[in-house]
Amino acid sequence: MIRRAAPIAASIILAATIPALAAPTTSESASQPADPVKVLVGRLDLEKYKATIKGLTKFGDRRQGTDRNRAAVDWIEAQLKSYGCSNISRIKYQYSPTETRRPSGPPVSPDAASGGGRFRGLRGPTGVNTDPQLQPDEKLRALNSQPTEPGEREEVYCTKVGSTHPEEMYIVGGHMDGHGWGEAANDDGSGTALVMELARVFSSPDVKTERSIRFALWNNEETGLNGARAYVEQRAALQGKEEPAGSGRYPEPKWLGMIQHDMMLFDHGMPRADGTVSKQQRPEADVNIEFQALSKAAEGAQKLAWTFYAANEAYATDYPAAVGPHMTNTDSTPFMDLVPALSLRENERGREIGAGWDPQWHQPTDDYVTYSDADFRLGLNAAQTTLGAIGRLTGATLK
């Protein structure tokens, strides 16, 4: 596939805004490739990415508080172990559905206060399907039938420990739960699989990074970002503390940035006048990189966003990137006032997803078979973008 050109305006902004990225700081040996990050990006594979999404969909919508959700958490951990991921851990927290926290979906009419951006154009229907009879697949309907119950929740993460600065890290995340009586293939099997694929590549024994990378698979995103909030509440105060003293071990390295991946596959354009959306990917499809201009860490987040834009230019094979200031209501939100935070996705969340650009959002049609190779390739290009940026930022090299 021929790579699509980036918008001219965005390229001008990039040239005027961000200096050229420095090469990895680790000195290259005679056997080191000129650009080891390019080698790592080349280890991403469309079929492996699709297979990981497919593996997640065998647990249905993975709704939090159910056996299928718990089985999916166990499966994710087993996969991470098979990749050679080290330092695998779980966060445990309590969740009650009576809690009144802000929902994860974008508001119907985003305004400046929400940071979601103001949409102008045609709108399609949105909402969360709660009717099991709208799922025509009897086996999938049965799989998704167990209702959620309050109680303990768990989410898993693993860490690539930096060789030079283990006390500093970037967090790369996606949420593994879903709802709507489908397979939650895009929301957010696509983001979860992306994070898992990056964990696979960085966990290879011949890969070395100067700084640490944490790969986190959040739970309870759909109920109000509860899993990501629990992580921040439990671990923010532990940042950069050596434990035990003098060991060189940092259970919670200092956060340098948090990058969320939430819905990576479907960019088919604005709804038509009748509310329907094209079955074909739009020619202008791109990888959206969002930061939140109203956050306390907005300046650093914007710089990080342009770093990811540059990585897309260098490493993504087919789709350009677009940077936007309206990140909202996703698992990067609990981090955004503490550390530069981004969200990579298929469309602008507050403005476009909230206006019905993705008819599968929280619907029975969010199934693996709904998406084409072009859709999956869009997700793969987001993976290339993040791997390229994180590889550069952490000083990734090959042993």
Which residues, at least 6 apart from 97, have a Cβ–Cβ distance to it below 8 Å?
A: 65, 148, 150, 223
Instruction: Determine the residue type at 187.
Output: D
User: What CA–CA distances, in Å, run from 39 to 86, 213, 388?
Assistant: 22, 18, 10
Give the total residue count for the chain.
Answer: 399
Q: pLDDT tens, 53-75?
A: 999 999 999 999 999 999 999 99
What are the residues whose beta carbons fall under 8 Å from the beta carbon of 17, sequence distance 6 or more? 306
pTM score: 0.91
Identify the band that residue 19 occupies on the pLDDT scale cut at 50, 70 and 90. Answer: very low
Statement: 33-104+127-398 belongs to CATH 3.40.630.10: yes
Q: Mind listing the pLDDT tens digit for each residue in 183-213?
A: 999 999 999 999 999 999 999 999 999 999 9
- Kind and range of the H or E element at 342? strand 341-345
Mean pLDDT on 316-344 = 97
Measured between alpha carbons, how far is 286 from 265 in angstroms, rounded to an integer?
10
pLDDT band at 6 (very low <50, low <70, confident <90, very high): low
What does pLDDT average to over the chain? 90
Lowest mean pLDDT among 5-14, 38-47, 56-65: 5-14
Coil, strand, or helix at residue 97?
coil
CA geometry: angle 328, 80, 217, nearest 5 deg: 15
Domain boundaries, the chain: 33-104+127-398
Q: What DSSP element (H or E) covers 310?
A: helix 298-315
| C-alpha span between 364 and 376 (Å, rounded) | 19
